Amino acid sequence: MKCPFCGTDDTAVVDTRLNDEGDIVRRRRKCNACDKRFTTYERAEIRLPQVVKKNGSRTEFNRDKLRASLELALRKRPVSTESVDGAIADIEEKLLSSGEREVTSQQVGELVMRELKKLDKVAYIRFASVYRNFEDVDAFSRAIREVSPKK
């Protein structure tokens, strides 16, 4: 690691600590040339796949956009923030574990649908009505039958 003060490569680690979550390493370093100290942080770099939209354009996966979609579907529904965070983490984990460099927006949409189905049936129907572009009452009826308990 180069010293940010004098630019030499001759630095030494004096102290290493993990943060509370254990996902970031903090290192105190000392430059052997100018004797100054500085801190570096190390974390794992995770690359989520790019999302290929219906029109063929590609965009970076956007966690904030995913959260906004979930929160819109769950608006005024009795679902905790922790549950939403868990759903987002599950979706990201599925995308990461797929090993794909690109996924379609439809694949992301289906993952969202699965998570909403587990979280809240009303939110699932709300999201499905927009995602699947319901055009009549029959489409709503089919979606409701999907989430209704079997008799």
pLDDT in tens, 4-29: 999 999 999 999 999 887 888 999 99
The C-alpha atoms of residue 40 and residue 137 are separated, in whole angstroms, by: 58
Half-sphere exposure (CA, 13 Å, Cβ side) for 123? Answer: 22
Record the tokens describing residue 66, joined without a space: 């995913």
For residue 140, what pLDDT is reported? Answer: 67
pTM of the model: 0.63
For residue 128, what pLDDT is reported? Answer: 83
Q: Name the pLDDT band for 142 (thresholds 50, 70, 90).
A: confident
With b meaning 16 or more CB within 10 Å and e meaning fewer, what string describes 111-142? bbbebbbebbbbbbbbbbeebeebeeeeeeee
- pLDDT tens by residue, 79-128: 998 999 999 999 999 998 888 899 999 999 999 999 999 999 889 888 88
Contact 128, 143 (CB under 8 A): yes
The C-alpha atoms of residue 30 and residue 7 are separated, in whole angstroms, by: 12
For residue 74, what pLDDT is reported? Answer: 93
Within 8 A by CB and 6+ apart from 107, the residues are none
**49 pLDDT exceeds 70?**
yes
Q: What number is the average pLDDT over the span 62-85?
A: 92
For residue 88, what pLDDT is reported? Answer: 92
| Comparison of pLDDT for 130 and 86, the residue scoring more | 86
Residue of 110, 106, 102 lying closest to 60 (CA atoms)? 102
Record the tokens describing residue 124, joined without a space: 């699932």
SS3 5: coil
